[in-house]
Amino acid sequence: MAALGWLTPRRRSATARSVLAGEAAAEAARKSSQTIEALQELEGEHAPPAEPVFPVAGDVHAAAFFDLDNTVMQGAAIFHFGRGLYKRKFFHRSELARFAWQQAWFRLAGVEDPEHMQDARESALSIVKGHRVSELMTIGEEIYDEYMADRIWPGTRALAQAHLDAGQKVWLVTAAPVETATIIARRLGLTGALGTVAESVDGVYTGKLVGEPLHGPAKAEAVRALAAAEGLDLERCAAYSDSHNDIPMLSLVGHPYAINPDTKLRKHARARDWRLRDYRTGRKAAKVGIPAAAGVGALAGGTAAAVALHRRRR
């Protein structure tokens, strides 16, 4: 009994200390909560107004312009198109070697070689000459399902959908042929596409371009012209791209976004406090030429399409 009596006060004392500690902690938490609430109210009085929701629902004078390759789609769309043609045995790998090398050089060097660009463009146009536009469109529909549908960036797709949900028009703006761009835009439920236009008469390619490839400054001019025709206020519009080549287009609008940006665009965007979104993963995302599918690039793919059409010449 003596031993039990010796233990009882100690047990009660420990329980009392625990209760006291719990009560003290609760009181401190209550006071700290009141302090935090008071500070939040004070900060709210001096805080700048919250950024308005964007895109603005019902703003019919605003629209969104999306670059295609590596912005909406992983890799170059026209390259995937070329893959589909190659699978169908419309041309041989050796026929693409020269053009693939030219585009690979561009991807690694980060600058365009005018001679490479001109050579690839003239070769493609000469081969396409005499073929029907409908032929390219029919093939493109099949190849979209095979190679492109699963390569759409979900994050960028959600951005485009936000503009559509706000009642705004959404356009693709790409150096890819307008026929290919139009197929992709329609499949994604977008408004339409601005792309490189090859001249055609009565539905047959003449072998000439209308103007020049829709690249760099040409994209900005296309957006400017479309905005004027649609009655858009460019300051209320948004543009999205991965490439520093599209800085002219991004600078044209009031809401520029750098999506999966290359090194030069990332630096430019940060300096100007543009919004950035990167949906790639891993360290390779920051390197030139990622995704790997873009390694041979748009020009090589475009030539693949042209060669394929040549093989199918009637």
Runs of H (alpha helix) within 51-174 = 77-87, 97-109, 114-128, 133-143, 154-165
Of 59, 69, 119, 273, which residue is the catalytic one?
A: 69
Is residue 48 exposed (0-12), middle (13-18) or buried (19+ Cβ within 10 Å)? exposed
Distance (Å, whole) CA 223 – CA 226? 5
Sequence-separated (6 or more) residues with CB below 8 Å from residue 39:
none
Asked whether 127 and 306 are in contact (CB, 8 A), the reply is yes
- Amino acid 136 reads L
CA dihedral 236, 193, 260, 187 (to 10 degrees): 120
- φ/ψ (deg, to 5) at 303: -70, -35
Q: Is 262 a catalytic residue?
A: no
- Amino acid 211 reads G
Q: How many CA atoms lie within 13 A of 308 on its CB side?
A: 23
The conformation of residue 73, written as its DSSP 8-state character, comes to B
- Amino acid 175 reads A
- φ/ψ (deg, to 5) at 75: 85, -170
Q: Is 67 a catalytic residue?
A: yes
Give the Cβ contact number of residue 251 at 10 Å: 13
- Amino acid 292 reads A
Distance (Å, whole) CA 11 – CA 228? 85
Of 59, 67, 113, 150, which residue is the catalytic one?
A: 67
Q: Catalytic residue positions?
A: 67, 69
